[in-house]
Amino acid sequence: MESVNLADKLRQFDETWTPKVVAALNGQLVKLAKLEGAFLWHDHAEEDELFLVISGRLRLEMREGDVELGPGELFVVPRGVEHRPVALPTAEVLLFEPASTAHTGDVVSDRTVSDLEWI
């Protein structure tokens, strides 16, 4: 019966590009992440991915055009759409995606976090 305070959770970690799980429902996870600068181009073949910006600014670069998000703005990257998140210069975001989603998609790099931590 514990509620989740997003600001409290965000104070619990500093690492960038390392999503932390804060809630699960219906096979989906709610994650928080701190972003800085540019991530890598990737896609998720089977999964749509929602980005909701809590603070800062985020550009989602896509081959068909970019979307820029500020606090209180969200965007769903459809499955199969290659994207590169770029924080301008930093952002705190809430992610909503299936429990099966790896944050680097089909690209495995040294930035891939395979064991997601719950906070």
Q: Cβ of residue 114: shortest distance to a copy of itself, in angstroms?
A: 20
Q: Cβ of residue 113: shortest distance to a copy of itself, in angstroms?
A: 20
* The one-letter amino acid at 78: P
Cα distances (angstroms) measured from residue 108 to each of 41, 53, 113, 116: 11, 25, 9, 15
Q: Which residues of this protein are in contact with a copy of itself, per CB under 8 A?
A: 1, 3-7, 22-26, 28, 30, 47-50, 54, 62, 64-65, 67-69, 72-76, 96-98
Q: Cβ of residue 106: shortest distance to a copy of itself, in angstroms?
A: 17
Q: Cβ of residue 110: shortest distance to a copy of itself, in angstroms?
A: 28
- What is 51-64 written as a DSSP string? EEEEEEEEEEEETT
Cβ proximity to a copy of itself, 72 vs 110, nearer residue: 72
Name the pairing type of β-strands 83-98 and 28-38: antiparallel
Query: What is the C-alpha separation between 45 and 68, in angstroms, rounded?
Result: 23
Cβ proximity to a copy of itself, 29 vs 39, nearer residue: 29
